[in-house]
Structure 1
Amino acid sequence: MRALKQLMYFGWEQALSCLFPVVIFASLALTQFVQLPLLYRYDWLLLICLFMQWWMVRSGLETRDELKVITLFHIIGLALELFKVHMGSWSYPEEGFFKIFGVPLYSGFMYASVASYLCQAWRRLNVNLVKWPPFLAVVPLASAIYLNFFTHHFWVDVRWWLSALVIIVFWKSSVTYEVNGSLYRMPLVFSFILIGFFIWIAENIATFFGAWQYPNQTEAWSLVHLGKVSSWLLLVIVSFLIVATLKQVKRNQPFDSKTYDKPTITGEISE
């Protein structure tokens, strides 16, 4: 019974941390079946995301510093969207006033919602990092993963080599988190895989409600290829590394792996 109670509490905290993504999915479902007046669907989605972001900061669910992190992810995601749509990886077939080169501006919030989840879960579960790798290993690896999303269209795709590097670099790393006063520990690589898998599930829901289309979904919706899990896994790693690094910079901790024999990074990105 205690294990069940802990699992339910953990699920509740995760659900609260997913508030922004849940609103996006609910908006996708609503606008798919209900035609709202005056504006195109993509434009309504942008307004809903902007209002949700404003409300989360206004209500105190997110701090101003967390908003800066989320805005950074919005820019990173929008840049990736512009490139991928241009290359034909996926498309946004519907009309919209707020579209740039075929990409609706609301799409950046789908990436920002991942950052929102990370920030929320980090604070709610009091996440700590154990044996975090050196700064000079983390930043180049995250940069290489992000750049590969662009360069693999013109050069060899090295995602599997990068995945192997992630395992090597973070093999000894783990996260600790609190659930209802009890401390738990999970290997960091395993947490990456879990988050990446659930985002793949979310991607299937998003494409089902017409958030975007892959080439094989133009005629009718079909399950997103399982190979996309690797892409989302790498994107989650980039997201996690950025959030973790910014938290570390905020706390002015030295980038020395020897100092991470016990949890040292905790709490939210405070104002």
Structure 2
Amino acid sequence: MDVILNTCDRYFFTPYIYPVDWAEDNIIRQSLSLYVFLVFVSFLAYLSTATLFYVFLYDKRLMQHPQYLKNQISLEIKCAMKSPLLGALLFLPFFVGEIRGFSKLYDNVTDYGGWPFIALSVVSFVMVTDFLVYLAHRGLHHPLVYRSVHKVHHAWKIPTPFSSIAMHPVDAWMQGLPYHIYPYLFPINKYLHLGLFLMVNVWAVSIHDGYFMVPDSLKPMINGAAHHTDHHLYFNYNYGQYFTLWDRIFGSFRDPTAYEGKSPLDEVIKNNSK
């Protein structure tokens, strides 16, 4: 993030926005700059990624399902537009801490054992965050917080790619925390962390896209759109982010209806054939 902020300072904030006597390393200036950047990028990443998945992968026949809401996509976008405004503020301390050197992010591949450690970091990041997101997501279903926080996201019984961040900002913050906590607990290359963070956002869209095609050999392991669609429909199952591991261990796994020919799309096709 420090590289991105330095680039923004050089080409935008310093020449056009801030007074010349306001130092680039001033924590207030850094916080303001990061907040503006995070809100802008969140909007851009969400709208562009969701639109691409909607155009090229989402099966529009799902919009004929009885539980698909009238004007649902516009409602999802309207809901999602609120999330980054508060979400960026909630995540801001983590980003400020990173650029001020309080995390374990590092610059050079050789700093921690080279490429083998890079490979280990990928595995560690995915497994650790997958476990923590599972815990956060399942916690959001607790009656004390579900109605006021997570219920917003479950309004979309038949999710679309635009459902991905159509949620309460606190919901987004709780499920996003693991990705921001990780570099404070474990060393990870800053460029790798950025790449993995982008992957996380693409994955969040992909599990809402209704595209159920997963290689047969991976179906028992991967928590894809088929699993997550059933989570929206049946509530207490398939909390996982990437894998089915934690759902299986903690007893919340459910075989996707899509793999049994009983998915929402199968229902639409059946109804249309009558």
* The two structures share one fold, judged by TM-score above 0.5: no
- TM-score norm. by structure 2 comes to 0.27
Q: Determine which structure has the larger strand proportion and give its number.
A: 1
Task: Kindly indicate whether structure 1 or structure 2 has the higher relative contact order, using CA contacts under 8 Å at least 6 residues apart.
Answer: 1
- TM-score norm. by structure 1 comes to 0.27
Which one has the largest radius of gyration? 2
